């Protein structure tokens, strides 16, 4: 069984530029999560999708972050414009459904904002 795929693995940008991350969850997983992991901290949930609908985006900085999951499979997370404090690893995870608490994580995208 293929795991959660993410790309790119690394990205370096200047502040005020925009960036996008892509995630392909495990086949058949209805629930998809985006986490932000700042160096030295645990992952923090940014947004949770159930199929193509948003379940929880309470911690997503909506003035600069956006995410979509068209067709209920792949997802993209965008930052526009980026700030220095957005430097972090962005992790994508998926689970069978909202009530299945086992989440499977991708390798993450490490973003550096200069």
Partner 1 sequence: AQSVTQLDSQVPVFEEAPVELRCNYSSSVSVYLFWYVQYPNQGLQLLLKYLSGSTLVKGINGFEAEFNKSQTSFHLRKPSVHISDTAEYFCAVTGQGAQKLVFGQGTRLTINP
In the structure encoding, which two tokens stand for residue 58, read together?
């309470």
Alpha-carbon span 65 to 102, nearest angstrom: 26
Q: Does position 101 bind partner 1 by CB under 8 A? A: yes
Q: Does position 25 bind partner 1 by CB under 8 A? A: no
The CA–CA distances, whole Å, from 97 to 32, 38, 48, 57 equal 9, 26, 11, 17
Among 105, 111, 112, 113, contact with partner 1 (rule: CB under 8 A): 105
Among 17, 30, 56, 96, contact with partner 1 (rule: CB under 8 A): 56
Q: Does position 106 bind partner 1 by CB under 8 A? A: yes
Alpha-carbon span 16 to 4, nearest angstrom: 29
Among 41, 63, 71, 84, contact with partner 1 (rule: CB under 8 A): 41
Among 42, 63, 70, 71, contact with partner 1 (rule: CB under 8 A): 42
């Amino acid at each position: 069984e293929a795991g959660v795929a993410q790309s790119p693995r690394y990205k370096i940008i200047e502040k005020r530029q925009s960036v996008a991350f892509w995630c392909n969850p495990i086949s058949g997983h209805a629930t998809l999560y985006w986490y932000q992991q700042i160096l030295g901290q645990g992952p923090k949930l940014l947004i949770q999708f159930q199929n193509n609908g948003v379940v929880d985006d309470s911690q997503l900085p909506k003035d600069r972050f956006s995410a979509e999951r068209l067709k209920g499979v792949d997802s993209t997370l965008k930052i526009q414009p980026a700030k220095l404090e957005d430097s972090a690893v962005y992790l994508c995870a998926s689970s069978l459904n909202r009530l299945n608490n086992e989440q499977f994580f991708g390798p993450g995208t490490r973003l550096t904002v200069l």
